[in-house]
Chains A and B, each alone.
Chain A
Amino acid sequence: MSETTHTAHAEHPKDYTGAKLGMWLFLFTEVLLFGGLFILYAIYLQRYPEGFKLGGDQLNVWFGGGNTLVLLTSSLTVAMAITALQQGRVKASLRLVGATLFFALWFLVNKYFEWSAKIHHGIYPKSEHLKEMPGGEQVFFNLYYLMTGLHGIHVLVGAGVMTWVMWLIRKGKVNPDDYVTLENAGLYWHLVDLIWIFLFPLYYLIL
């Protein structure tokens, strides 16, 4: 403990523990939001195991798997951005947050093509084709659109947050002495990744 750290604390009396704890609390409400949907999934999987299997077979593992790699890598880049900023490498941090934003957009582009293909085949909520399908598959695809859609909105919000943080770093408002905003943005982004870690096997890999 040197004198300089004391004065630094006096100049920046930011409560890091409080700021991050607040973010974690918000993340727990997100977990409960998605948790409710996972309960729906579990109940209907138990009721319609055959329909869910047939539905899962129609999803493209390459889209799901590819997007898994994209999101895992984006989590790595945002974690590295925090390390870089802590070490005072501002430009590297900016580039890494930019990479995270790029991966977020890449994920959404993949999602666009994936959904377009499904919609082209007449599979979307309330479509005539879907109404003719057995009950289990109907529930599967409705839940698929609801959960991946809600997750997609979170990716979109995450992309917005990353853009905002990049602007803050550029302005010097987020810097090596004060970076809790980047940490909290990272926490949000990792939650988006965590939800996808469960969505991927439950929808694309179900046997």
Chain B
Amino acid sequence: MSTHEDKGHIIPNSTLVAVWLALLVLTVITVAASRVDLGALNIWVALGIACSKSALVITFFMHMKYENWLFRLFLLIALVTLAVFIGFTFFDTLYRQPI
């Protein structure tokens, strides 16, 4: 077994099925949570659960856990770029004067 192969790590089926089950449970939780009126908090709960599901998919299904640091850096840059876009858009629209 070599550690320098870039051909990748084999993820056992048991891990993949466990991740899938976790994703199903999170889907049920997100539906259940949406039936409870939390006001403005509802959207943040939904997005929080969606982010956790994404993290599971990226980490295990997309093998990110076993990729080298360069992949993580790329992912970080993409997510920061997206956050900057969203943040700056809201800096604009939230503080517009009513016409």
Contact = CB atoms under 8 A, between A and B. Distances in A.
Nearest to A47: B93
Contact of A187 (B12, B43, B62, B70): B62
For A20, A42, A205, which residue has the most chain B Cβ atoms within 10 angstroms? Answer: A205
A31 B81 CA distance: 10
Contacts of A45: 43
A119 interface: no
B17 A76 contact: yes
A79 B60 CA distance: 9
A69 B23 CA distance: 9
Nearest to B86: A39
Contacts of B34: 201, 205-207
A15 B37 CA distance: 51
A82 B8 CA distance: 10
Contact of A69 (B27, B62, B85): B27
A39 B87 CA distance: 10
B54 A197 contact: yes
A32 interface: yes
Interface stretch (A21-29, A108-116, A131-139, A144-152): A21-29
Interface of B: 2, 4-8, 10-13, 16-17, 19-20, 23-24, 27, 30-31, 34-35, 37-38, 42-43, 46-47, 49-50, 53-54, 57-58, 60-63, 67-68, 70-71, 74-75, 77-78, 81-82, 85-86, 89-90, 93-94
Given A17-B6, A35-B85, A39-B85, 15 more contacts: A5-B2, A28-B74, A36-B85, A42-B86, A45-B43, A80-B16, A83-B13, A86-B10, A190-B57, A194-B58, A197-B54, A202-B46, A207-B34, A207-B38, A207-B42
